[in-house]
Structure 1
């Protein structure tokens, strides 16, 4: 098997730092999307909002994610990853502070949309940059760990929101929305000076710059021979936006977009309006429902842990198929027995959270592995866009559905959407376990036998963070 400086490297402190910087975007995404659900009841009363307006507030950021992923994914592939890696966090910080002072729901919808655009950009930028630096042996687990940062952010939002509700009462929702500016500024500072992706530089013909970046990270290991091997993997093929909708890449685009959408529609709806959903099942409108949502959020995080181990043993394809199949069960129970005891309701939500670990971690693994460097951020952006427009529709309709058709029928619709995701995965899910990034994406010939090299001194992907 041929060797590659990046693919076969030992896992270094540099890789840990790159993960932490990229995870910051996911932390903010989870925080910003979840904090609305925590304070929506107080915000609705203060601004005199209808159920439809509540849905617009929840969906606005998701529509922004659609636009941000679609637009900035392609821009990232054209002008580079590093340049945009910091700038969009400035937008998040400013819009979060501005949200504290709104007096009507229309302005809040606009600000949430702007925040969503910036978050959508980060999906494309961060995941592409991180995946292009990671060694093959750790790539799946480290990329999968990004979603854990999302759940940490969501859990933090529930804890912060609960504390503010109890401390400040009437103005709690304003301070909760503005609090996102604190981590945004912290990550702006931390991301300054992040190196560009050498894979992207080579794909744009900037070989000398790529060699300089490799020397900065790998020192003497960045030999001319190592650079030549990278050039052989990343030689430009002239791929553009349209290529992801042609030939085999069309099938990959359809798979990524559909499985992501069909998982995210129920998950985001439950996350965004977690306290409201639990209240509809009979839990109180106050602290109990917020704390119940925090518990479910923690279980979404815990559900990722076994999935991180299974992606390299069970494999990507079998993991995602089994996960979707199991996710249908608790949603169906909630739909058919909406009057079940509170313990049963919480158990079903917790089971759904645990089973969702597989698709959750694969949201970041599959898009980056299935497309070459020239269109990797574009593909991630398209996947983000497809999933978020569906999630926006689902999030907008959830409070209306709870109001008009009841919580049981709403959960049955969620179960049907998840069942459709199972069918998509059975039909389209590929296996990329153990393949070099260029090989998995089709940019380089496949090796005869996929393996997971473990260079001396390399730790496991999960044990290093």
Structure 2
């Protein structure tokens, strides 16, 4: 690719410039990841309060499944709609709006009078989170340097697990400390307003991304912001991306259809077993006959998830995207297979299987925001992220809704075997289609025909990284 520089692109930086850019990149990373923190928070607390809410509102078994899946369904609709909107109107406007809607609905949960009111609020919150997925990934991809982009995008999932773990721990401790308070579960649900407010304040004054401005033909604005906030390599790459049309039709055009299928399928197969199992971890553990206190077992597993996500974010640039996606599938599927075939195993074996699943799942899940942010161009980046997130939530919501019904109808063993089968599907797709984009500038990682993708028939090793072109 021949690089043609704009005449007003600054080609050198002072020490003060470097410090300002580093500070800004950290701010982008924290405020963008804050939305994932809030997402993890609301998904954790519903699992914590569901028993108390069920008693208070007389929620049926189907209602429990709907509440567990509500925010996931919201992410589906929010990702589909607002990814496209974000590519149309820009990242800056949506960056503030999404969590404001989330904040309002968090507070309104205090007054939910029945299952359907609570379901509606959590559906709207999920839509806000789905919208935020598309914006946050685009903000990091388009502002942060190629060296830091991987850890920052991967770190978004670490923030998700942090929110998930802290919310679950907070919820269990509060409910255990005040068991005589019948409506305390409402305050636990509404607690998501606190991190949402903090993130909203941190996002005030964020600029529009230069890449989106350049895509709109607003070159002077793009260059002004780029000279202040992008590092040299990112500035030089600003106008080098191939052009693409905004819209869903582009996602399914010949240059991008395989990328769309890949990001959607691998994301869905990662989250479907995870959300199903960890939303209803207590009945799953009971079904396996583990003689441990359910809530403390859950907190322990959440801590494992947090550790695994930090490991994944820490090694993403060292082992590469492809290796980190493929290898953990073997361990996750193996753990679920063993749980399904040996439900009467000793407690130590069962716990080891859950820890293995949690550790490798969380380490690999850091790629969920990273891949679509890196392989879709600016014109359809938010649309691609939103569509992939939406497709993943079909699996997640379906698994969350069906798992309690499956436990009731078939028992724990068959449910674990189904989870193993879902993971094998993700493994096959990843071996066939996962690209390696480590250290690439966005113009290279998004260019049609430039992303190396393994051919399943010629893949000698399941985690082998195909040569770059």
Matched, 1:75 2:85: yes
Report the counterpart of residue 248 of structure 1 in structure 2: 255
| Residue pair 1:131, 1:368 contacting (<8 A) in 2 also | yes
State the distance in 2 between where 1:338 and 1:290 align.
Answer: 20
Report the counterpart of residue 390 of structure 1 in structure 2: 395
Written as runs of structure 1 = structure 2, the 5 A alignment for 1:272-311 is: 272-283=279-290, 288-311=293-316
Matched, 1:329 2:339: no
Deviation of 1:236 (Å): 4.0
Report the counterpart of residue 187 of structure 2 in structure 1: 175
2:277 alignment partner, one of 254, 262, 270? 270
Deviation of 1:446 (Å): 8.3
In 2 relative to 1, CA 438–124 (structure 1 residues): closer, same or farther, beyond 3 Å? same
State the distance in 2 between where 1:312 and 1:3 align.
Answer: 28
Matched, 1:260 2:267: yes
| Residue pair 1:323, 1:357 contacting (<8 A) in 2 also | no
Deviation of 1:396 (Å): 0.2
Written as runs of structure 1 = structure 2, the 5 A alignment for 1:18-417 is: 18-169=28-179, 170-217=182-229, 229-230=236-237, 232-234=239-241, 236-283=243-290, 288-417=293-422
Deviation of 1:319 (Å): 2.2
State the distance in 2 between where 1:314 and 1:204 align.
Answer: 36
| Residue pair 2:241, 2:446 contacting (<8 A) in 1 also | no
| Residue pair 1:203, 1:235 contacting (<8 A) in 2 also | no
Q: What is the aligned-residue RMSD (CA, Å)?
A: 2.5
State the distance in 2 between where 1:42 and 1:434 align.
Answer: 48
Structure 2: runs of 5+ lacking an equivalent = 453-469
Deviation of 1:3 (Å): 10
Report the counterpart of residue 463 of structure 1 in structure 2: none
Structure 1: runs of 5+ lacking an equivalent = 448-465
| Residue pair 1:7, 1:437 contacting (<8 A) in 2 also | no
Aligned length: 440
| Residue pair 1:302, 1:354 contacting (<8 A) in 2 also | yes
TM-score, normalised to structure 1, is 0.89
Deviation of 1:178 (Å): 0.9
SS in structure 2 at match of 1:256: helix
SS in structure 2 at match of 1:238: coil
Please give the per-residue CA displacement for 1:324-353, whole angstroms capped at 9, x wherever unaligned: 112111111111122233332222111101
| Residue pair 2:237, 2:441 contacting (<8 A) in 1 also | no
In 2 relative to 1, CA 100–262 (structure 1 residues): closer, same or farther, beyond 3 Å? same
Deviation of 1:39 (Å): 1.1
Identify which range, 334-343 or 402-411, moves more after superposition: 334-343
Identify which range, 177-186 or 307-316, moves more after superposition: 307-316
State the distance in 2 between where 1:360 and 1:137 align.
Answer: 20
SS in structure 1 at match of 2:256: helix
1:14 alignment partner, one of 15, 20, 24? 24
State the distance in 2 between where 1:66 and 1:370 align.
Answer: 21
Structure 1 segments of 4 or more deviating over 6 A?
3-9, 443-447
| Residue pair 1:128, 1:377 contacting (<8 A) in 2 also | yes
In 2 relative to 1, CA 8–322 (structure 1 residues): closer, same or farther, beyond 3 Å? farther
Report the counterpart of residue 465 of structure 2 in structure 1: none
SS in structure 1 at match of 2:354: helix
| Residue pair 1:63, 1:113 contacting (<8 A) in 2 also | yes
Deviation of 1:238 (Å): 3.3
State the distance in 1 between where 2:344 and 2:242 align.
Answer: 60
In 2 relative to 1, CA 151–6 (structure 1 residues): closer, same or farther, beyond 3 Å? farther
State the distance in 1 between where 2:127 and 2:171 align.
Answer: 23
Deviation of 1:33 (Å): 0.6
| Residue pair 1:233, 1:443 contacting (<8 A) in 2 also | no
SS in structure 2 at match of 1:312: helix
Report the counterpart of residue 460 of structure 1 in structure 2: none
Deviation of 1:185 (Å): 1.3
In 2 relative to 1, CA 292–130 (structure 1 residues): closer, same or farther, beyond 3 Å? same
State the distance in 1 between where 2:104 and 2:156 align.
Answer: 24
| Residue pair 2:332, 2:357 contacting (<8 A) in 1 also | yes
Report the counterpart of residue 463 of structure 2 in structure 1: none
SS in structure 1 at match of 2:173: helix
TM-score, normalised to structure 2, is 0.88
State the distance in 2 between where 1:306 and 1:20 align.
Answer: 18
Please give the per-residue CA displacement for 1:122-168, whole angstroms capped at 9, x wherever unaligned: 00011111111111112111211110000000111111111221133
Report the counterpart of residue 424 of structure 2 in structure 1: 419
Deviation of 1:237 (Å): 3.7
State the distance in 1 between where 2:165 and 2:229 align.
Answer: 34
Deviation of 1:230 (Å): 4.5
| Residue pair 1:202, 1:235 contacting (<8 A) in 2 also | no
In 2 relative to 1, CA 315–446 (structure 1 residues): closer, same or farther, beyond 3 Å? closer
Please give the per-residue CA displacement for 1:219-270, whole angstroms capped at 9, x wherever unaligned: xx88xx996x445314644343211101131000000000000111001112
